[in-house]
A and B are shown apart, each in its own frame.
Chain A
């Protein structure tokens, strides 16, 4: 990697040492009680290298990612604080990047975000003052140049490992690796992909990224979803934009009797993790489930991802 500075986070340290990283998605909290966040994070402690605190996922408001990140860190799990461009302009985003860093966010994940029409406040004004590429560059300028976008100097620099997302499964497929290259140019140091149900498609994407020399410049983490039923899978395919669920994957869940579908969904996720570990150039997995963390914890265990390595960062945490 080009970065020569000491790792800024546990996640960065694990990735830079060449070990397979594991991250998981926090369930967003629907209230003001931090206990909801702390309970979830405590369950992940020692089982993941970092946990994502989402920013109004699917354009539904929740307890803020910055606040969640602070409580996740207190619970002994390294947060990846997500910031989306949908709800804030460039002033607020810079303020929140600094605020997140001050609250202990050692990783940030910078995204454009779903449109407001995907959420429960479709009448809201979508901001989209800047896009995710701009936000990545701004984060790098804050951190590496010690300046705001305007050029005004900071008194102290934030220190975080900077991530972005990419969707290898959405059209135009030929352009996705090129777009990843742009994200790297903008400032991305790690990538978490959209949910992967189509490993052959992902393999093609990774092969092209390798040809373009991108895998030496960025760490690629692939998202794996533990589906609980064929219905949930159909929902992802038909309602959530940008998710590619091949017919054979849905068919596999549909063929299972109702009482066995959750188990089949789990098997599918387990096999996906195993397949991803065989692809050179994939640096880790990002695990997502809904309704609790049991499926994620079981997946981590049965996939043989424990124990999580010591990142050697304890003295600074």
Chain B
């Protein structure tokens, strides 16, 4: 949240340097246009980098969770502190021969996605041994918080679990609803791609400014055009930020 807020400021600021570049272009100040476009490109690059980092964290996951057959997420919390508990902390290791099946080992060249670090059976055994851990489900109570089950209900509920989910992707999401992760990656991915192409277009115009193309042409209208694209990307981010991080 804090980091994403910082990213928002970086993008708004790069929008501002873009307007300043356009304004300097109106006054035919080549040096200033160069400087402000440079800042804009840096801002955009930092933003795309931050977005990639966000994705990495989201994909990798933090605590891990179990998923039921119906696609509901079961998360583990400490009964006394109310804090989340990671799967790795409670799982009891059980000896198993099950390994990730690689394409090089099979009869035909079929592989499977990497197995999670713990199995459902290990989590279940560990959960039964840890008296202090309970399950939190996604259903909201009357105060709008996620429901935390009692120990007895939790012991009942864990039998519904079928898969271990670590991190988020287009299909599974350890943080909550699957559709949210799907939408999140879809929308921020599209936005990130637009920012990336914006940085590339800005770079091309930046080099054109340096070699003096627009000085010869007599106006800096191209800077204004890429500026409009850049503001559009910023405008979209304002909405993405609201609907994916605030609401």
Q: Do A and B come from one complex?
A: no
Q: Interface residues, chain B, CB within 8 Å of chain A?
A: none
Q: Interface residues, chain A, CB within 8 Å of chain B?
A: none
